[in-house]
Structure 1
Amino acid sequence: MVQNHLPHDHGQTIEQELEYMPSAENFQTAADMFKQLGDGSRIRIFWLLCHCEECVVNLSAMVDMSSPAVSHHLKQLKSAGLIVSRRDGKEVYYKAADTVQARNFHRIIEWVVKIACPSQEEQQKGTS
């Protein structure tokens, strides 16, 4: 929403930015997506699903969590549109969604992990 006159004049010209500012709903959508990154276990599960398609039981073993806890995280990731599922008989398999958002979240996670753990990157270079 562009205002012709702001209550305080600080000598800045912000009108152009205000004209292109996304809606409040768009910012809420972004905030809801970033909430998914607020839990380390959920990030681990999502990262794994970016690299494989897996069932709840195997994911539980991979991240050393109970199946109900993993299912809870999967439900949140799925509702955010970051993962998808498919049924094969009685088994349900999960993987990262093939969307720009999911790919970007995967990149963000890997980028942040590299910054947080630079010694791991150096170790990998040494073993290559």
Structure 2
Amino acid sequence: MEDHGTHAFPEGMREQLAKTEDFDVIADVFHQLGDPKRVRIFWILCHCEECVLNLSELMDMSSPAVSHHLRSLRTSGLLISRREGKEVYYRAADTPQSRLLHQMIEMVMQIACPEEEQQ
């Protein structure tokens, strides 16, 4: 067996690694974005508020399929919703995490927000 010697990890690293629940939350967010349809829905909702029917039409998907993806994204904290009569409207949560993921998506895809392109 090779001796790698004593390695000094940065202070606090072991304590942070012991907080496995924090890493579980991060893994769940990335799991949500592991489905390209969810990424597309999330990206749309970073730019506007929409109901299931409008998203279904835009995504060319059934309403139950869109609802399934919305439920997952909302549970992970990436989306918020509001009810207006019988309709539920969704949009990206106004959190640092959602904003960062939005930026990451646009950086990876090398696209700009629709509002920025019009300016």
Give the TM-score normalised by the residue count of structure 2.
0.83
Tell me the CA shift for residue 113 of structure 1.
Answer: 1.1
Identity between Structure 1 and Structure 2 (%): 53
Give the SS at the match of 2:7.
coil
Tell me how large the CA RMSD over aligned residues is.
2.0
Tell me the CA shift for residue 74 of structure 1.
Answer: 0.1
Tell me the CA shift for residue 12 of structure 1.
Answer: 2.5
Give the TM-score normalised by the residue count of structure 1.
0.77
The number of equivalent residue pairs is 110
Residue 14 of structure 1 aligns with an amino acid whose one-letter code is: F
Q: Does 1:67 align with 2:76?
A: no
The equivalent position to 1:16 in structure 2, one of 7, 11, 28, is 11
**Relative to 1, partners in 2 of residues 1:15 and 1:51: Cα closer, same or farther, differing over 3 Å?**
closer
CA–CA distance in structure 2, aligned partners of residues 87 and 79 of structure 1:
16
Bigger fraction of residues in helix: 1
CA–CA distance in structure 1, aligned partners of residues 9 and 79 of structure 2:
38
The equivalent position to 1:40 in structure 2, one of 36, 43, 47, is 36
Structure 2 residue ranges without an equivalent (≥5): 113-118
Residue 13 of structure 2 aligns with an amino acid whose one-letter code is: L
**Relative to 1, partners in 2 of residues 1:111 and 1:10: Cα closer, same or farther, differing over 3 Å?**
farther
Q: Greater shift after overlay, 73-82 or 28-37?
A: 28-37
Larger Rg: 1
